[in-house]
Amino acid sequence: MTNTSCSFKNVVKHHGVHFLEKKQTKLKILESNTNDTKNILGYPSTKNTFDNDIWIYIERKTTVSQIRTLGRKKILKNDVLVLEFDKRGLLIKKDFYNVKDMKKIEISKDQTDVLSKKDTFVRTIISTLRQKINDPLGKRQAK
C-alpha cells in the first residue's frame, strides 16, 4: 500500500502585509504618525520622498488555479495602501485600493509635460500592479 502526499487544496502564496485592509483602519489622519504606522504595519514596501513622505504597503495573495487553466496564477487579494506624511511625520492622507478599485482606474495614454513627481510615482506603482493583475506571470506579449 502506497501513501501519496497529494493534496487537493490550493497553495496560497502571500506577499506583503497580512490583513492590510483590517490593520489600515487603525491609522487615523492627523492623529497617527510614522512611528504608529511602523508599529501597526511594519516598514513600507515602497517609500519615496517628494514634498512629503509617501509610503506604500502591499498585500497580495495568489494561488495556482485549476488544472483546466494549466496552472495559471489566480489573484485572490491585491490590496495597496498609499500613505502620505507631512514633514513632521504626521499622517495627512490615506488611500486604500483593492483589485476592484484598480480595475476601475484608467491610465491615460496621453502624455503631458506638467505632471507632479508625486502623481507620476503613485500612478506608476498602481499601473504596475494593475499590469500584474492582468498578467501575473508576465507572459502576454506587448501589442
pLDDT, position 128: 74
14 pLDDT more than 90: no
Give the phi and the psi of residue 100 in degrees, each rounded to 5.
-65, -40
**What is the domain range of residue 102?**
12-134
Q: Which residue has the higher pLDDT, 99 or 137?
A: 99
φ/ψ region of 14 (left if φ > 0, alpha if ψ in -120 to 50, else beta) reads beta
Looking at residue 138, what is its pLDDT? 61
Question: Residue 5: inside a domain, yes or no?
Answer: no
Residue 61 maps to a domain:
yes
Q: What is the pTM of this model?
A: 0.64
**Domain assignment present for 1:** no
Other C-beta atoms lying within 10 Å of the C-beta of residue 114: 4
Give the pLDDT mean for 56-72: 74
Between these two residues, 82 and 119, which has the higher pLDDT value? 82
For residue 79, pLDDT over 60 is answered with yes
pLDDT for position 24: 93
Of residues 14 and 33, more confidence is placed in 33
Least trusted range by pLDDT, from 46-50, 95-99, 128-132: 128-132
> Residue 25: inside a domain, yes or no?
yes
CA distance 126 to 6: 37
Answer whether residue 141 is part of any domain: no
**CA separation (Å) from 132 to 19, 60, 66, 112?**
20, 11, 19, 25
Domain-located, residue 47? yes
Mean pLDDT for 3-17 is: 69
Give the pLDDT confidence score for residue 6 in this predicted structure.
Answer: 56
Is residue 5 over pLDDT 70? no
Tally of domains in the chain: 1
Q: Is residue 143 part of a domain?
A: no
